[in-house]
Chain A
């Protein structure tokens, strides 16, 4: 059973446009929602993360929107640049106190920003 569903699988956006990637989850116990960026040959790098007690978090050109009732969260990349071309993964996790339960990842979105 896929605990987090990510869409779209691939996305092409013009330079300067807005890139939007969506994720939906099932388990309401999840309490941590990060987005990771991965370039070829590299491991995923944490981009931005949100907790369920806020509806939006912005860091530079990157914004997470979180809808707790719909169990959905999304990544918005404003003024998308060719350097943003990468694979993006959403993830979910829950804090158990004695140790994290690991990250459950979405399948990834391959983003291409056309110059």
Chain B
């Protein structure tokens, strides 16, 4: 069974640009959430989607947005990139239902570098 697939694996962007990251969840998983990982702040929750609707959002500025498609694939977008947005962006999926039973499965992430 294929895992969570994130593309691209690495990305270099210039300050002020925007970027779109993609996540394909495990087949049958309908919930997708996004996390930012940095050495200073650790792992921080960005947002969670299921049924194409954002269900919860972390404490990030409006430059960070996302969406989910009918096939459960998800994208996140960061506009007007800042140097501080350099991070590993992780996507996690789970079977829709009580996460205490099913848990989250993470992808390997997209390493974004803003120069």
The answer to whether A and B assemble together is yes
Contact flags (1/0) for B21-54 with A, using CB distance below 8 Å? 0000000000101010000001111011010000
A51 vs B35: C-alpha distance in the bound complex, in angstroms?
A: 23
Contact residues in A for B66 (Cβ distance below 8 Å) = none
Chain B residues with Cβ under 8 A from A49's Cβ?
100, 103
Q: Are A98 and B43 in touch, CB under 8 angstroms? A: no
- Distance A34 CA – B102 CA, assembled complex (angstroms): 12
- The answer to whether A65 has its CB under 8 Å from any CB of chain B is no
Interface majority SS (helix, strand, loop, mixed), chain B: strand
Write out the residue numbers on chain B whose beta carbons fall within 8 Å of the beta carbon of A108.
Answer: 42-43
What number of residue pairs across chains A and B have CB atoms under 8 A from each other? 67
**Does A44 count as interface, using CB distance less than 8 angstroms?**
yes
Residues of B in contact, count (CB < 8 Å): 27
B108 at interface by CB-CB < 8 Å: yes
Contact with A along B98-115 (1 / 0, CB 8 A): 111001111111000000
Looking at the assembled complex, report how far the CB atom of A6 sits from the nearest CB atom of chain B, in whole angstroms. 9
The answer to whether B45 touches A43 (Cβ under 8 A) is: no
B4 at the A interface (CB under 8 A): yes
A102-B90 in contact (CB<8A): no
Task: Flag if B105 contacts A46 (CB, 8 Å).
Answer: yes
**Is A7 engaged at the interface, CB distance under 8 Å to the other chain?**
no
Cβ B106 vs Cβ A43 within 8 A: yes
Q: Is A25 an interface residue (CB 8 A)?
A: no
> Which residues of A line the B interface, CB within 8 A?
31-32, 34, 36, 41-46, 49, 51, 89, 93, 95, 98-108
